[in-house]
Structure 1
């Protein structure tokens, strides 16, 4: 994944951690010779993200990410796994327990600021613990926080100090869950380093492990984000991300539906209420997402006629960049305690006590499932 620093002589990028090199502009870590004296030294990709909000298309072999994770099991470390509450199932690293061996895992749940203020945090924490356990993840603790709003961050620091016990700390997570944002808070508040990691809305911004030294000789290690193609945010063009990634608290949208009605989420997904008693459904999606209601019998025709225009994003020019839709037939159990979850898009809470039969259309590969209600 990285080049030998002794051959480049440029060290590592202060933004993403990749080994710097000045030979190939289309490879990770490129730093023009004219900028080699700049301090702190950052690669061209990080420079463009920081100054122009533009990420290049340079990618790193995902097998290298897995190798990096696998090496953690041979260390004596505290593993801090950061997940995105808005995309919990999509951002939880499957099989993490196998990678980390006997090292303790602290689960940090970021972006809690997106939920309504009335959300019961104790219930939310219990929900997270239950879901993590169901995925085979054993945690020493669960901490809720918002890196953006700086809520719960003191508790994260306290938990790291409690469970670290003089060891290195490895910070792991999927792309775009807020790892680097949290690490930057650590740097600003608990380190003398004159640098910050590159933070952007683009997946995969951290390209190599970044070691942040601690006073006791140990280090906090920020690892690259794991890319999961089952998340819609990994499959859409970058110009579409603004409609998927909320930056402000969600405003639940309530729709009263009868069977035979459909909801379009732009041109990215479709929810069909196929069979069931009339009931309400509450949508938790980014404020920028456009929702359009129609009759199920007209849904196919409407999509064919208006995709890329009224049903957008994506635009007509971007349609070919997204995998074709596949149908997921889901039965929502009675009781009013279930969500239909679409990774990267959000979720639909079914409020009806009688249950329902539904179909969800989403780009092929995107994780779609019925789960116990988050809220």
Structure 2
């Protein structure tokens, strides 16, 4: 059996520098890519688009194993792929919500759990339990360890979106962290088994849906849009036609607010620019890529599409997968989001 990198699961090889699994050192337990990521945060090459999510889900479907489905609570909608209920049908599934620490402390765990169960029910996904965890969240790792025993002698497979925190979570459950974790999608490259409390647990490559903004940013811009600590909500009072530029990533127009309020939940390193709708075109034409940045690596702004949303009639969230969301309340006639073609804007009842 071929030796595998204990950090990412790739088969170790010595012949192809720049390819997955390469190490110049015979007997090494880490590939060169994992070594550079771990010690220098140096991404030698990106694999964020090199892993087929359908292949990963199909393989999980064939495994007789308990599924720990890791979802990023800050980027929940990106985890809820179309057809996920089909892939998980007949499986014992426990949801592990990570990055609780990024959400405001004012959000109670009970309210958060009701919201998550509601979203799962809407997608006809049935699970056996829910664990909420994050950095410095009391009891989270212990609850995950307890959840492993739902396997009743079976293996456990840990799945989820890229950047959901799968490898970080598993490293917290073992005495000596060995899995490579980073902010870059595509860090884990293959099914990577480790043993925890006598249970074989498979770390798996992150699923990378095309509708997440994270797949359409330069690697260097990820540190701007991925929050590393609890976000501070940024609120605005609205009247009339108001426009927001979320960096250079998307434009959100609120039409005929009378009045309304908007609260943004996104990385506090990502700049928000507010103005009038009748001045917004000029702002984007003059300042796209300069004042308005970072920008996507996809088609230029003049080729973006517009998504028209009708108010839900209650407090609601407008979600930009990979970035965060804007919570809206009050009275307004319409929401218009201008964004790259590949991104699917989500509208939901408010999480907070």
TM-score, scaled relative to structure 1: 0.88
1:60-80 CA-partner distances (Å, limit 9, x unpaired): 7433x4334323333321100
2:307 to 328, 336, 354: 328
Partner of 2:184: 202
Partner of residue 8, structure 1:
none
Contact 1:92–1:174 (8 Å) recurs in 2: no
Contact 1:174 1:227 (C-alpha < 8 Å) held by counterparts: yes
The aligned counterpart of 1:128 is 116
TM-score by length of 2: 0.93
Aligned to 2:210: 229
Q: Does 1:170 align with 2:170?
A: no
Deviation digits for residues 23-69 of structure 1 (CA, Å, limit 9, x no counterpart)? 1123211112xx2233xx21121122112212133437433x43343
Aligned to 2:68: 80
Instruction: Report deviation, 1:340.
Output: 0.9
> Quick one: distance in 2 between partners of 1:20 and 1:124?
42
Counterpart of 1:191? none
Q: Classify 1:294/1:19 alpha carbon distance in 2 versus 1 (closer, same or farther; 3 Å).
A: same
Q: Alpha carbons of 1:118 and 1:76: their partners in 2 closer, same or farther (altered >3 Å)?
A: same
* d(CA) in 1 for partners of 2:203, 2:270: 32
Cα 1:266–1:58 shift into 2, 3 Å: closer
Tell me how far 1:133 sits from its aligned partner: 1.6
| Partners of 2:300 and 2:111 in 1: CA distance | 36
- The offset of 1:285, in angstroms, is 0.9
Deviation, 1:99, is 2.5
1:181 corresponds in structure 2 to 168
Match of 2:51 among 62, 67, 70: 62
- Residues 200-252 of structure 1 show CA distances to partners (whole Å, capped at 9, x for unaligned) of 00001000001113554x41011111111111111111111122111111111
Give the match's secondary structure for 1:187.
Answer: coil
Q: Aligned to 2:173, what secondary structure does the other structure show?
A: helix
Once residues 326 and 333 of structure 2 are traced to their aligned partners in structure 1, the CA distance between those partners, rounded to angstroms, is 12
- Residue of structure 1 equivalent to 2:333: 356
- What secondary structure, in the 3-state scheme, does the structure 2 residue paired with 1:154 have? helix
